[in-house]
């Protein structure tokens, strides 16, 4: 009887350990993302867009900064594709058509600046850290300005396509603002602290 029950008991014990560990990791993950996002301006958007990095980023400021910039790149690409779509379908006329072309250009710059930033975050080094932080601040701020520039120049805010585009651009500018805050947090924390490599 005992010999039969024994492996069963072990299995149950194993399964319950597995599930409790899973819960612990995810509860901890939630704390991690909330803590990381506490330095950002748009916190609920930050938690929403970065929560799936919780377990991998842990409490590392450099990993959170990277996650922030990666998510921003993804969203800039989405909006860039949407702008291209609007252009292709000729949805905007007159002044809005010009504004849309300016947007396409601004978003191309923003994407380039964010890619350069991600490149820096991938090869952080203690010896060039302050220069790297300076570059990141310059480029991410420039990307933010480029995104905000895209909001200007449109007329007829009640026009459906203008409205949708402006909402999406505003959203991506919030996400980029959050990424900048995560990078500034890294700049003040420095490398080699709080589980940073």
Ligand X SMILES: *[C@@H]1O[C@H](CO)[C@@H](O)[C@H](O)[C@H]1NC(C)=O
Residues contributing to the site for ligand X (CB under 6 A) = 49, 75, 167-168, 171, 175
Pick the closer one to ligand X by CB: 75 or 147. 75
Q: Are 137 and 187 in contact (CB under 8 A)?
A: yes
Pick the closer one to ligand X by CB: 52 or 122. 52
Pick the closer one to ligand X by CB: 49 or 184. 49
CB of 167 to ligand X, least distance (A): 5
CB of 42 to ligand X, least distance (A): 10
Residue number with the shortest CB distance to ligand X?
171
Pick the closer one to ligand X by CB: 124 or 140. 140
CB of 128 to ligand X, least distance (A): 31
CB of 174 to ligand X, least distance (A): 8
CB of 75 to ligand X, least distance (A): 5
Q: In angstroms, rounded to a whole number, what is the distance separating the alpha carbons of residues 128 and 126? A: 6
Pick the closer one to ligand X by CB: 49 or 54. 49
């Amino acid at each position: 009887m005992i010999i039969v029950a024994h492996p069963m008991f072990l299995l149950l014990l194993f399964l319950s350990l597995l599930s409790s560990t899973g819960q612990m990791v995810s509860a901890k993950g939630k704390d991690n993302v909330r803590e990381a996002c506490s330095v950002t301006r748009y916190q609920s958007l930050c938690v929403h867009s970065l929560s799936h990095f919780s377990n991998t980023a842990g409490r590392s400021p450099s990993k959170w900064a990277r996650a922030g910039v990666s998510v921003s790149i993804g969203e800039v690409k989405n909006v860039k594709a949407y702008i291209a779509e609007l252009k292709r379908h000729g949805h905007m006329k007159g002044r809005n058509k010009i504004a849309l072309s300016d947007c396409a250009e601004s978003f191309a710059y923003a994407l380039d600046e964010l890619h350069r930033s991600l490149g820096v975050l991938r090869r952080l080094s203690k010896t060039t850290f302050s220069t790297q932080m300076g570059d990141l601040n310059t480029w991410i701020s420039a990307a933010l300005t480029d995104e905000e520039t895209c909001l200007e120049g449109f007329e007829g805010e009640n026009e459906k396509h203008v409205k949708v585009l402006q909402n999406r651009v505003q959203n991506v500018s919030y996400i980029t603002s959050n990424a900048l805050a995560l990078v500034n947090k890294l700049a003040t924390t420095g490398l080699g602290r709080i589980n940073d490599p």
